[in-house]
């Protein structure tokens, strides 16, 4: 008898995401709407439509797997209602999407017993479909992915992000800037390029050597986490310790770079 994950056809999901990504690309504004209300309306219309379409389609194929809507509820994330569920972010990188910029994604992740087991990160602008299955590797448009095994931190190119939202606590801003000031002098380049899902996929692809971020955005990180792990990246929290649902921050990198970065970030 097939296991649940064996019953799920990645090609079916890929086709669904390609269709919805193409629609989002058609809906993307050429530049940002004129005020906050207009931006919110555009975002909610686009993301809401895609989420509804994906929920309907996936439920028709696998009705036993519900969708989680706990992106902004850490308590429910730690204690989910179901052992198996989908996590979907229709527009990861909303600021870029609304501004007519690239570097935004459509993501989907299957979680079983608190672990990501199937993940998709689609970049519609670049027509790049990243996906991974637990224990079976990571891929982009069918091409097998492997992290870049650089051994010199001074040549490393890193990604990071610090999502903006109103009234962000000053203590969080200060901590991010403190860590950023430690990393920048030690590496070849530190870049801030769109959402974590895309940067983690680019790490898996060998375009970045590492990625770190502060905060507790595990729902945002999960799709990219599986893709990066399956490509050989070492994962931990920001202090180099085991990553779990209560972790603060993430640090992903190729093995040697991870060791070097964790030492710097722990100081």
The 10s digit of each residue's pLDDT in 200-248 is 999 999 999 999 999 887 888 999 999 999 999 999 999 888 888 778 8
Render pLDDT for 98-152 as a digit per residue (tens, 0 to 9).
999 999 999 999 999 889 999 999 999 999 999 999 999 999 999 999 999 899 9
The pLDDT, as a whole number, for residue 230 is: 97
Between 78 and 21, the more confident residue is 21
Residue 78: its pLDDT value, please?
Answer: 60
CB 25 within 8 A of CB 90: no
Rounded to two decimals, the pTM is 0.93
Phi-psi label, residue 128: left if phi above 0, alpha if psi -120 to 50, beta otherwise: beta
pLDDT tens digits, 189-198: 999 988 999 9
Q: Is the pLDDT of residue 43 over 90?
A: yes
Q: What pLDDT was estimated at residue 57?
A: 96
Percent of the chain with pLDDT over 90: 72
> b/e per residue, 237-265, with b = 16+ CB within 10 A?
bbebeebeeebebbbbbbebbbebbbebb
Average pLDDT of the chain is 91
Whether the pLDDT of residue 1 is over 60: the answer is no
Segment 153-161 mean pLDDT = 95
Instruction: Provide the pLDDT for residue 224.
Output: 95
Q: Classify 59 as helix, strand or coil.
A: helix
5 has a pLDDT exceeding 80: no
Helix axes 255-266, 170-183, angle to 10 degrees: 130
Which residue would you say has higher pLDDT here, 173 or 52? 52
């Amino acid at each position: 008898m097939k296991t649940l994950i064996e019953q799920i056809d990645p090609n079916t999901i890929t086709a669904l995401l390609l269709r919805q990504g193409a629609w989002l690309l058609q809906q993307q504004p050429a530049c940002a709407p004129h005020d906050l209300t207009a931006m919110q309306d555009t975002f909610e219309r686009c993301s809401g439509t895609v989420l509804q379409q994906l929920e309907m389609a996936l439920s028709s194929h696998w009705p036993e797997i519900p969708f989680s809507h706990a992106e902004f509820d850490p308590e429910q994330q730690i204690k989910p209602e179901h052992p198996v569920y989908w996590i979907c972010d229709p527009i990861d990188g909303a600021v870029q999407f609304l501004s007519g910029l690239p570097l935004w994604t459509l993501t989907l992740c299957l979680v079983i017993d608190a672990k990501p087991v199937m993940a998709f990160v689609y970049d519609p602008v670049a027509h790049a479909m990243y996906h991974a299955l637990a224990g079976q590797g990571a891929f982009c448009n069918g091409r097998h992915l492997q992290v870049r095994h650089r051994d010199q931190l001074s040549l490393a190119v890193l990604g990071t992000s610090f999502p903006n939202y109103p009234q962000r606590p000053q203590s969080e801003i200060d901590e991010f800037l403190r860590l950023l000031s430690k990393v920048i002098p030690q590496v070849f380049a530190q870049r801030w390029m769109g959402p974590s899902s895309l940067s983690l996929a680019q790490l898996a692809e060998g375009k970045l050597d590492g990625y770190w971020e502060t905060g507790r955005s595990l729902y945002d990180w999960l799709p990219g986490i599986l893709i990066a792990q399956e490509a050989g990246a070492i994962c931990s929290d920001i202090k180099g310790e085991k990553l779990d649902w209560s972790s603060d921050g993430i640090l992903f990198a190729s093995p040697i770079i991870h060791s070097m970065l964790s030492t710097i970030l722990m100081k």
